[in-house]
Structures are given as structure tokens and as C-alpha cells.
Structure 1
């Protein structure tokens, strides 16, 4: 039965992740190939131009084991990220590295700046620890209260987790503020894990990334991946930057050998050098972020919070309209947004969507304006 004929019978009880296209297909009767995902936060340009052109010529690499140290890849990442390759560790996506850091640190009490990605809390719980949240408040437009966080950093906290820019709020912390946080954590013996999955989309990555701080602080590790900016979640390649080389050795010793296959390692070296693709991505997201915000600020039925990543958080102000209803309306037109009601501290008045190509963005914005104006 098609989505159109069954529209009155479907109850929206599921909350979908950007990778849940098979579920969408089953419930709504829409082919996953026909869905434009504004939920996955993935670069709309697709994979690196050079990668698409060159990777096939390296197919013979699968006949041999990768370099166990991944030295060439780490040097390439180091040049891209502006650090020394000895401070770089690679893993099977940033998710593996998040898990390994938490396993090693074994926090009995973690403080997570949120609402944010649920995997942090999940990993802490797997290790028997407890997670507490330092809340980003709507009244502050979800900007971090640095002084408030400093006061919340008590000596019984083992681990502080920050996503910067943060998902789903798209808010960010500048490096001088991060330095204040690190100083406070240093005094109390707190280790800091910073997830920079979205930092390359920021207006000025060089002022936001905490990578330069790893030269001076041994209580911070920074995690990044290629799933979002480089549109390659299927390659499962992530990396950590940390000045604490003893910790890096311990993480490396816990990893299975060769967690990154030969083609993924080669792909990383190709994409990190594709400056045309990198610049075009940044220009597209920057221009669309500004353009879409300019349109949305004229709509009185919603409020948006200044975005710094490649996605935007919106609060529904119009009475009688919920995030479930907006999701349902959009998906029936093949556009998948994120219902944010499952995030801590958010409810069914919040949605999130990423910036795609202008034509797709216009389709989604029209739906929102039609429902919320």
C-alpha cells in the first residue's frame, strides 16, 4: 500500500536516524533512493572528486596488508589538520575512538555538554559509569555558559565530553573559551574529550578547532572523522589528535590491528589533499547557511538558533504543530528531517536539518514556510 493511500493509518511513533532509510521505506512506502536526507548531516557534494576518479586505480592494494602504523596516512592527516603526525592516531571511524577513549579512562562520573550525540552516554554506561549533563539552555540560544560550566566541574568528575560544533544545536565554542575549560579541568584532574566531527564546516575552523591546544595540554583528545565533511561514512575512517603520547600508545594497544582497510587508508590520503573539493564544500555550506537563515528569519512561526555547522536547529513556535507532524509532512514529499524530541532537554517542538544543494533546500524551506507561516 502506498504512502498516499495509507496516510490516515500511519502513526509516527518512530524516531529515525539519518541512516534509517530502510525503515522509512518500509513504513512510508517511499523508495530510499527517492529520499533526500536532511537528517544525516552529510556533505551534499558527495565524495571527493579526486577520490571518485583515482580510487579504482588502487584496487590492487587489497592484495596486501596495510601498514600497521598507517604512517603515510597519519602524515597526510597531520598536514591537513595542522599538527605533528606523532600526535595522530587513526581508527575505524570516530565511533571506535570514542569507545576506546572511554574504555581506557573508565570514568565513574562523566559530564556531557548537551543536548548532544547519545553515543557518549551510551559508552560511559557500558563501562559502568554515570553520565550527568551540563545543559545548554534555550534562553541562551544554546550557547555554552563558560562560567557556569567551570562551576560545575567538581573534582569527582573524571571526564568532560564536548561536541564542537555541537549536534544538534549547531552552537560552537572558540579556542580561548576551550582553553579556560581545559585550565579548570587541569586543576581538578579532569580529562576532556572533544568531538570535532563538524568543525570543518565552521565559518573559521582555525579559530574553533582545539588541535593547537594539544601542544600545550595533555588532558585533551580531539576526535574527527570523514563521514560528514567528506561524505564517506561507509569508509569508516576516523582519527584522534592528542599531545599525550602515552595515552595514544594505550589506545593503539587496545585496537585490533589493521582496523582500517587498505583502500580506506588510500582513500583518506586522496581526499585530504583534494583542496578543490574542500573549498567548494566550505563555500557551498557557507553560502547556503547564510541564505537559508535569511529566509527563515522572516517566518514568525519558528525560531532558529545561529548555526555554525552544516545543520540548523529550529524551534516550532506555531501552536498545534509538532516535530512529528513536520517530519511526516516532509517525508511524504521525499525529504527527511530530524525530529529532535529524543534529544535530552528538547521536546516535540524542535527539528534539525542540514544544508543541502540550493534546489533541495528550497523544497524543504517551502514546506516549512507553508506549515509555519
Structure 2
């Protein structure tokens, strides 16, 4: 068996990375895609590679000679000198005579993949097959459908893609196994006819699309089951593969955390790191937003003044002059640097944005470790004399500790007497047993020293909309923050969500009840793992101390073996030398899956 790699293209979408070389020369952690492909071929006992080259072909040939790759595998070159006027159908046409000399693995040059998948295709029981993967949101390009016998029944081009049929779609990995007989009887005759009819500037898969309608020309789909692969078409793809194919799990974990989201681009990743309500929004609310998608897409959102009025439908007990809508709570926290005092008190460990966003302030830290990682009203009161501003996050992140309503009002009264400013972050308060809100005109006007921050993204389950609010009864604070915002700082989708939320308010309350009930159930389950100490939580997450083992090693095991992403808290300001993690509370099925994985790790 031989392999043919189509590597003539310019890869212009990769910009600077293909300025001097073609895509097969992309380096991923010290190995080019070409070298990785050769290792995979050798692993599958394939000892001959035919390279169809065009753009920067001499650089590729020079690299092969200098690195002695041609001593590892027999390499034969075919030149496509009109690479800039043709597409890969012509590159394959140039290699047509090779297709009938031996069975062939056909692969493209912009792929990176688990080394074992070539062997999986070679060792499959089918003589003629394509590697395919079940469709996921990050995939693009040609899709196929399979019949009950795993025969490819149709090829679906981009312009024929139907989102109503995605459950039946498989993405071609662009690695094929062709027998000599298949090429001689079917592929080559149709390839030559297609080129005569339509020219050289097309894709070889279109020939397979025609052949798939023939009764005797069966091309099977070999379905990849969870193995990593990626097609590198542009700079974003190149960045993504550096996370997927990091040389160590530790580096992989670090790279995933540095992304701060966007994990839907990665095959099968289960995110227990970011904290989102799994029970809201409802399918009905989502359907309503989908129905108005085009209107929202093609029209400008309202300006800040109107957004603030709309927000009063969301928070019914506050006036528009006392509230500001932000592109996520993080945007509003960042703008607080213009209104907070010079000396700021903050309980640690805490949400890092409150430190990052106030670089010119001096911090006085209250270490909750001294109180078993529980918020201490006494400590909060005692620090007031030493600072201008006190930041309180309740429930606290990451511990889930919570101040009761009475404790909060007591703190506000004392701060008012001492003329100290309070920033109160209630982003997770709707999950608390005694949930309450300070976003109320009667409270805001009574305590003009109070600024309330709330992330809508987290508790309302819409992090992609990037919504947050700031509320205050102090007109000067509202005006300063508002004057630092653009006219349009949230999009039409976020605005519409605010507008229609009231219709689904009962559903939201039920969703919060579901979180509380599932939190109690999951807490009792986790307590059965004696290697863990789970801190009681009033939020939608648990902080956990590992009484045995290492947090990073656990996180690496979960990511590498289960594709689960959790938050490692070691090294975060405020923690001692013990081992800590934070996990999101999701629905029962997802929580049970994580629980089973934890039991497996600890041998329970």
C-alpha cells in the first residue's frame, strides 16, 4: 500500500505562516505536518509516499533532503506547476497513474491527527473507505451521510448543508483508502470525465459525490470515535491545534484555561470550569429568539438610554436612572476603577477581575482561610476603618460561602455610618437558599455608598450574550460609568433577551430551584468519596479540597482521559499549600458522569 498527499496549495488563509512554505510545512511543537503524517504512515506499515507539490515546492524538497525524511520512507514527487490556477482535483489527476499501481491512502496536507487513525483506516475491513467523524458545531466543509451498512450514501456540499439534518451528517476527515480496482473501475473514469466537463478548478470529492450514486461503487465510512484530528485552514485553526496537540497534558490544561471559553470548538470537551445555569433558558425561550434571529441580526440594538429602560423590565424594583447594562459584568467591573477608592478590601481567594481591573488601587486582603473559607461578617466590618472601598462577593467565588440578608444589611448600615463604599457582587445569589437582591430602589437610595454588580451570563445561562448590570442610587457613580460606555455596548440578541425575560420569569425561578435541589443531591454523592472534602455551597459550584492526591494530576487525568475541564485553584491568591479544585454544578446526568470519573480516579 502507498500514500498520496496533495500538498500543492498556497494556504493563503494562513497568512504569515505560509508566506515561505506550503501548509504541510506548518510546525506544531517541533514537528511539521509532513513529518507527523510520515510517522503515521510508517506506524501503519506504509513505506511509500507520493507528494504532489506546487507552491514553494523547492522548500519542501530541500527540507526532506536536509532532515533525511526520504531515508525513513520512500518519497516520490509530482509537480503541479499551475497550482495557483487549479484546485486539488487537478493535483490528484496528475497522480492518476499511481492510483492504479497500488492500493492507496489519499490524504491532504493540512491535517493533524492522532497517529493511530491511519492504522485504523488501513486495518478496517473495507477495501474502499473514508475516515469520517460525527458532525459537531466546529466542523466545516464536505459532509456525508451513511446508510445502515456504513456505506456513504451521499456527499453534502457547503451550499446544500441543511441544519435540520445535522444528526445524520458525518464530516469527511479528508483521508481515504482506495483499492486499485475501485480507482480503475470507478474513480479514474469519472475523474477524467469530470475534468473534461468542468475543468481543473474544483475538488476531488465532487467526483466521489457522483460515484456515490452508483450501485456497485461502495465507499464505506470508518467513523472515528473520539480521536483527535483537525484541519488547519487558517490562523485560528492553527491556534486551536496547539491546544489539542500540546506535548504534555499539563501544557494542554494551561492552554485550555488561557482561552477563557470557546470550548465548543473542541471535540467533546465537557466544561465544568465555567459556571452556567444548566436549567435555563428553556427551549421555548430559545425557540423565540431563534424565530427573531434575522430581525435581530440585521438591525441595530438600542442605545444605552433605552437599554436601561428595558432593564427595568428585567429587574422590576429598580428605576432606569439607577441601573446600567454592560457587555458582561466584567466590562462594568473594569469601569469601576473610575469610582472606587484608593484603598480596597477584598476577601481572598476571590474572582481575579476585582484585582486585575484596579491596578492603581492598594489592596487589603481578608484571607477567608482563617475562617474555613467562609465569609466572615466580623472580618468585613473590622476592615472598614482601614479602607475606602470594600468588595463583597456573595455567594463567594470560589468557596460558595454566603452572607444572609440580615448580615448584608448590617454591613451596609455600618459602612454607611463610616462613610465607606461597598461594591456588592450578587452574581450567584439567585442560587442561594435565602436568595435576595440589593437591586432595589429602596435599598439603593438608602445606601448611596452601595454599588451592586450582577452577571446575567452566569445565573441566567446565557454567557454567549455577555450581559451584566451595575446598579447604584448614587447619580455621580452612574454618570461616570455611563459616560465611559459607547452608545451601543450590547448587541440586539442580548437586548431582546432582556426584553422577553419576564415572560419566562417563572421558568427561571424553577430553574434556580432545580439547581438547589441538584446541588444538595450532588453534595451528598460527593461526600461518599473520602479523598475529597466538599465545602458547602450556596452557588452553582463546589470548592473541593483533595485530602489525597494532586489537583493538577486530577485535572490532567480528567482532561486527557475524559475530556473534562475543571478549575484548579492551587496558586490562586489566598490558598494554602493544600490541593483545591472547583467544579461547576450541572444537571444530574452530567454531575453523575463527573462523579463516576472521580470515583474511577480515586479507585472508589
Is the shorter-chain TM-score for this pair beyond 0.5, marking a shared fold? Answer: yes
* TM superposition shift of 1:278: 0.6
My pick for the range that moved more, 243-252 or 289-298, is 243-252
My pick for the range that moved more, 8-17 or 84-93, is 8-17
More strand, by proportion = 2
My pick for the range that moved more, 274-283 or 224-233, is 274-283
Match of 1:28 in 2: none
Match of 2:593 among 360, 363, 371: 363
Structure 2 distance, partners of 1:188, 1:324, is 44
Match of 2:383 among 120, 133, 152: 152
Which structure has the higher relative contact order (CA within 8 Å, separation 6+)?
1
Structure 1 distance, partners of 2:275, 2:458, is 6
Match of 1:77 among 314, 325, 337: 314
CA contact (8 A) 1:18 1:39 kept: no
CA contact (8 A) 1:19 1:40 kept: no
SS of structure 1 residue aligned to 2:591 = helix
Structure 2 distance, partners of 1:168, 1:314, is 10
Q: Give the alignment of 1:30-179 within 5 angstroms.
A: 32-45=266-279, 47-58=281-292, 59-61=294-296, 62-69=298-305, 70-79=307-316, 82-105=317-340, 107-125=341-359, 128-137=360-369, 140-155=371-386, 157-179=387-409
Cα 1:194–1:18 change in 2 (3 A) is: farther
Structure 2 distance, partners of 1:108, 1:71, is 29
Structure 2 distance, partners of 1:203, 1:72, is 30
CA contact (8 A) 2:566 2:582 kept: yes
Q: Give the alignment of 1:204-223 within 5 angstroms.
A: 204-206=434-436, 209-212=437-440, 213-223=443-453
Match of 2:250 in 1: 12
Larger Rg belongs to: 2
Structure 2 distance, partners of 1:84, 1:252, is 15
Structure 2 distance, partners of 1:50, 1:336, is 29
* TM superposition shift of 1:103: 2.1
CA contact (8 A) 2:416 2:449 kept: yes
Q: Deviations over 1:85-119 (max 9, x none)?
A: 432221211111111122233x3221111211101
Q: Deviations over 1:160-208 (max 9, x none)?
A: 11111111101111122122222332233321111111111222312xx
Task: Specify every segment of 5 or more residues in structure 2 that has no aligned partner in the other structure, as ranges.
Answer: 1-112, 115-225, 229-243
* TM superposition shift of 1:18: 8.9
Q: Deviations over 1:104-156 (max 9, x none)?
A: 33x3221111211101101111xx2222211112x63322222222222224x
Structure 2 distance, partners of 1:35, 1:85, is 40
Q: CA RMSD in A?
A: 2.7
Structure 2 distance, partners of 1:102, 1:329, is 40
Give the TM-score, by structure 2 length. 0.55
* TM superposition shift of 1:56: 3.7
SS of structure 1 residue aligned to 2:562 = coil
* TM superposition shift of 1:4: 8.6
Structure 2 distance, partners of 1:180, 1:153, is 13
Match of 1:285 in 2: 515
SS of structure 2 residue aligned to 1:342 = coil
* TM superposition shift of 1:217: 0.6
Cα 1:276–1:33 change in 2 (3 A) is: farther
SS of structure 2 residue aligned to 1:205 = coil
Task: Specify every segment of 5 or more residues in structure 1 that has no aligned partner in the other structure, as ranges.
Answer: 26-30
Structure 1 distance, partners of 2:403, 2:347, is 11
Structure 2 distance, partners of 1:60, 1:154, is 53
Give the TM-score, by structure 1 length. 0.86
